[in-house]
């Protein structure tokens, strides 16, 4: 039995990716079990899903604690040591990460491959929904499920143009994903941002990793009207000395400030990893 854990953010479709993979495996005569972990709806917050694949009926019903493979849909989450929790020795990490596997920041006894799924999603879907692209990478490096089966499952789920665009994303990722290498990054034990799963009532430490895009201010264009400040839901924009200042630990990257600034003084730039 192969056990897989998926990490993503609310809105990136980790749960859907999991189900598509299970369906694709089913087309190939395998047994599959997809387990979502639901909290309340939080777009942008870390989410986890689990998958089991086998040639015989799967009888376990627990969450996956010791995955053979970890799939990460988000580059900020890919940097967090918590994704390695319970990963079997010699296991595999498939990460949405903008740099080649040699530059993957985490190290240890596992193999890793990377693909810039966010760029692929932005190119094909025009939105940073990385769940289907990462499946192309999964098929390429694990060979557990054929890319044709993944495409069939996608088209079954999203008929029409939406399905076609997602298939394009899968193929692009399939082509661009390099073979996994032994992880060479540093060993980090502590996860600064706290646990990856579990419902998040109350305070969390930082929302920095929620962003795909980062708002950047051009003060030359700013008239000091306070509009960005008043509309920020997360109070990430402070008001000091007649101009707005941003606290990137609080900013979730919703883009309201970018959309509402009357002089276009706030610009959205892709978050650098």
Partner 1 sequence: MSERITIKQIPLEELVITPGSACQGCGAALAARLAFKALGPNTIRHSIPACPDNVTRTPTSGGEFEAGGDHVTGTWRALKALGREDVQVVGFYGDGGVYDIGFQSISGAAIRNENVFIICKNNEAYMNTGGQVSGATPQLAMTTTTPVGPMSRGKPNSRKNTPMIFAMHGVPYVATASVAFPTDLIAKIQYGKGIKGFKFLDILSPCPTGWRFEPNKTIEVARLAVQTGFWPLYEIIDGRKFRLTYKPRELKPVAEYLKLQGRFRHLTEEEIKEIQRDITDYWERLLKLDEIGEILL
Q: What is the smallest separation between the CB atom of 166 and ligand SF4, expressed in angstroms?
A: 24
Q: Which one, 178 or 255, has the nearer CB to partner 1? A: 255
Three-state DSSP class for 37? Answer: coil
118 close to 129: Cβ distance less than 8 angstroms: no
114 close to 100: Cβ distance less than 8 angstroms: yes
Q: Which one, 106 or 228, has the nearer CB to ligand SF4? A: 228
255, two tokens: 């883009």
Q: Is 44 in the site for partner 1 (CB under 8 A)?
A: yes
183 phi, psi to nearest 5 deg: -60, 130
56 to each of 11, 22, 65, how far by Cα in Å? 32, 14, 20
67 close to 91: Cβ distance less than 8 angstroms: yes
Q: What is the smallest separation between the CB atom of 122 and partner 1, expressed in angstroms?
A: 13
Helix (H) or strand (E) segment spanning residue 121? helix 117-124
DSSP annotation string for 206-251: --GGG-SEEEEE-TTT-----HHHHH-TT--EEEETTEEEE-TTT-
Three-state DSSP class for 124? Answer: helix
Q: Is 64 in the site for ligand SF4 (CB under 6 A)?
A: no
Q: What is the smallest separation between the CB atom of 130 and ligand SF4, expressed in angstroms?
A: 20
x/- letters, 8..37, toward partner 1 (CB under 8 A): --xx--------------------------
State the Cα–Cα distance between residues 51 and 53, nearest whole angstrom. 7
The sign of the torsion formed by the CA atoms of 10, 74, 50, 186 equals negative
Q: What is the smallest separation between the CB atom of 118 and partner 1, expressed in angstroms?
A: 15
Q: Is 162 in the site for partner 1 (CB under 8 A)?
A: no
Q: What is the smallest separation between the CB atom of 152 and ligand SF4, expressed in angstroms?
A: 32
Per CB under 8 A, which of residues 81..140 are in contact with partner 1?
127
Among 105, 155, 255, 267, indicate the residue that binds ligand SF4 (CB under 6 A).
255
Residue with tokens 């010791």: 66
Q: Is 222 in the site for ligand SF4 (CB under 6 A)?
A: yes
Among 223, 238, 245, 269, indicate the residue that binds ligand SF4 (CB under 6 A).
223
Q: Which one, 160 or 219, has the nearer CB to ligand SF4? A: 219
Among 41, 62, 189, 220, indicate the residue that binds partner 1 (CB under 8 A).
41
State the Cα–Cα distance between residues 177 and 175, nearest whole angstrom. 6
> Which range, of 41-49, 106-114, 134-142, 149-157, touches partner 1 by CB under 8 A?
41-49
233 close to 254: Cβ distance less than 8 angstroms: yes
Q: What is the smallest separation between the CB atom of 80 and partner 1, expressed in angstroms?
A: 17
Of these partners, partner 1, ligand SF4, none, which one is at the site of residue 222 (CB under 5 to 8 Å by kind)?
ligand SF4
- Please give the residue ranges that form the binding site for ligand SF4 (CB under 6 A): 41-43, 215, 217, 222-228, 232, 234, 236-237, 244, 246, 251-257, 261, 263, 265-266
């Amino acid at each position: 039995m192969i056990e897989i854990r998926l990490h993503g953010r609310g809105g990136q479709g980790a749960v859907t990716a999991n189900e598509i993979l299970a369906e694709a495996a089913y087309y190939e005569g395998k047994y599959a079990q997809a387990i979502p972990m639901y909290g309340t709806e939080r777009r942008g917050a870390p989410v986890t899903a689990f998958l089991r694949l086998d040639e015989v009926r799967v009888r376990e019903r627990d969450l996956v604690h010791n995955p053979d493979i970890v799939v990460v849909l988000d580059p900020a989450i890919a940097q967090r040591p918590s994704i390695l929790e319970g990963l079997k020795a010699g296991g595999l990490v498939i990460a949405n990460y903008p740099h080649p596997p040699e530059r993957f920041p985490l190290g240890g006894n596992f193999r890793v491959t990377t693909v810039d799924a966010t760029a692929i999603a932005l190119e094909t879907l025009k939105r940073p929904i990385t769940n289907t692209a990462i499946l192309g990478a999964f098929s390429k490096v694990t060979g557990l499920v054929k890319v044709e089966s993944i495409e069939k499952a996608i088209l079954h789920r999203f008929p029409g143009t939406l399905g076609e665009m997602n298939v394009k994303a899968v193929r692009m990722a399939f082509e661009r994903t390099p073979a996994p290498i032994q992880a060479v990054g540093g060993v980090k034990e502590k996860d600064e941002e706290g646990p990856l799963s579990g419902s998040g009532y109350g305070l969390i430490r930082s929302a920095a990793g929620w962003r795909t895009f980062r708002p950047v201010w051009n003060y030359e264009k700013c008239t000091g009207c306070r509009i960005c400040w008043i509309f920020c839901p997360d109070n990430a924009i402070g008001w000091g000395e007649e101009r707005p200042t941003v606290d990137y630990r609080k900013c979730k990257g919703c883009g309201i400030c970018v959309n509402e600034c009357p002089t276009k003084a706030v610009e959205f730039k892709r978050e650098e990893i």
